[in-house]
A = this chain, B = another copy of it.
Amino acid sequence: MTTAKATKPSSKQKLFDAALRLIGERGAAGVTVDQIAATAGVAKGTVYYNFGSKDGLVEALLRHGVDLLAEQLRRAEAVPDTESSVETLVDGALLFFGEYPEFAQLLVSEMWRTPGQFHGTLSLLRDDIVAIVKRVLQRHADAGRLCGVEVGTASAALFGTLLVVALDWQTFQRQRTREEVRESVMLLVRGMGRGQGKR
């Protein structure tokens, strides 16, 4: 979401930054192209020159953001120890959402909108992410640590929970450290692994 180097940011990059902030705050439908262009410091026409349309910008933004998130999460797959790998996954997600809270806002407000205009794009992207989570949790399951819950279900739930926990952290409880938040989530994950006695 930011340029890697200190080179003068391109129009595309400036628009990404501006759009991410504004759309995260007010929702895709609540932001005008004028506002995005003004915040980015470019002319309105530049949006159309670079992205073709407002929706084009939003979709590019979603794709770009999910790419970054996936990249971050994939690091967990490389961790050999099963428990540590889940922890790395959780930590990576929190790291990403902590750096780009607007992206979490964008995701959460579009993710469950049944016929939303970005639903198609989002479904694919969500599947990418959940697949990564699933691969990590599968090892957890193979180690017998996921009794009674189907891996796919658990992965989807974990991703959703990560999203809202990160948002709550950024919105209502900024004073907490990432380590604390990560431990809360791990508590839940470990709960899923407990032998489930009735009551």
**Chain A contacts to B: CB under 8 angstroms:** 25-27, 29-30, 83, 104-105, 108-116, 148-149, 153-154, 156-157, 160-161, 163-165, 167-168, 170-173, 176, 183-184, 187-194, 196, 199
A179 to chain B: closest CB distance in Å? 11
A108 touches B112 (CB 8 A): yes
Are A165 and B172 CB-contacts (below 8 A) given A192-B187, A194-B190? no
Contacting pair A149 B187 (CB below 8 A): yes
Chain B residues near A188: list those with CB within 8 A.
157, 161, 188, 191-192
In Å, the complex CA distance between A105 and B105 comes to 13
Determine how many copies of this chain the complex contains. 4
B191 close to A189 (CB less than 8 A): yes
Docked Cα-Cα span, A156 to B161, in Å, equals: 11
Q: Please, could you name 24 A-B residue pairs with CB atoms under 8 Å apart, sorted by A?
A: A25-B116, A27-B29, A27-B109, A27-B116, A30-B116, A105-B114, A108-B109, A108-B112, A109-B109, A109-B112, A112-B164, A149-B187, A153-B173, A156-B172, A156-B173, A157-B164, A157-B168, A157-B184, A157-B188, A161-B165, A163-B164, A187-B192, A188-B188, A191-B194
B115:A105 contact, CB within 8 angstroms: no
Judge whether B187 and A196 touch: CB under 8 Å.
yes
Instruction: Give the chain B neighbours of A25 by CB distance below 8 A.
Output: 113-116
Pick the most buried of A111, A154, A171, A188: most chain B CB atoms within 10 A of its CB: A188
| A148 and B188 alpha carbons, distance in the complex (Å) | 12
CA distance A67 to B172 in the complex (A): 22
7 additional contacts, CB 8 Å, given A157-B164, A157-B165?
A: A27-B109, A105-B112, A156-B172, A156-B173, A157-B168, A157-B184, A190-B194
